[in-house]
Amino acid sequence: MPDITGVFSGKFASRAFLSPRDQPNHELSMAEIDGVQRSSDPDWNGVKMSFWGTRDVQSGLGTERGYFLNEHSGGDRCWGTLEGTVAQTETSLTAEGTFRFTGGSGKFNGITGQGTYRGRMTSPVTVETEWAGTYQVAGTKTAGA
């Protein structure tokens, strides 16, 4: 399986927060983030990505789970899931975890693979995430770099 790496820069398209009263300092949130991937691999550079996810944070530490969609040039697409941990203060938020490809279309039909990510909020409305992983497309010997 080929190795791939890149950086995702995105902006919140929408988000919502809830503060359950079950425990002090408990926050639930949902978000949609849209942006663009940058990678030295031409199959992944300039790819539009959307993310939809939830966070559950108590006293600054928590979890996140979500779904992503990559829209490649020419209409090819791939998608998957992610989950990780979150550390949050009043002025910063970082997240890290794993992602897994669960499907695709066009040249990414039959994609499988996984990787890791580490991200942070760069402003109240923007995020930047570094990622690395491997993937394989059914029926091909190489995919990516």
Each residue of 54-87: pLDDT tens digit? 999 999 999 999 999 999 999 999 999 999 999 9
CATH number belonging to the domain at 3-137, selected among 3.30.930.10, 3.40.710.10, 2.40.350.10, 1.10.1200.10: 2.40.350.10
Contacts of 130 (CB under 8 A, 6+ apart): 5, 6, 7, 117, 118, 119
β partners of residue 98: 83, 116
Centre a 10 Å sphere on the Cβ of residue 101 and count the other Cβ atoms it contains. 23
Q: Are 11 and 125 in contact (CB under 8 A)?
A: yes
Q: Are 145 and 6 in contact (CB under 8 A)?
A: no
The CA-to-CA distance between both ends of the chain, in Å, stands at: 10
Each residue of 75-128: pLDDT tens digit? 999 999 999 999 999 889 999 999 999 999 999 999 999 999 999 999 999 999
Q: How far is CA 96 from CA 15, 82, 135, 137, in A?
A: 19, 10, 19, 25
User: Is the pTM higher than 0.85?
Assistant: yes
Contacts of 104 (CB under 8 A, 6+ apart): 76, 77, 78, 79, 110, 111, 137
Domain boundaries, the chain: 3-137
Element (H, E) at 47: none
Q: What percent helix, strand, coil does the chain show, rounded to 5?
A: 5, 70, 25
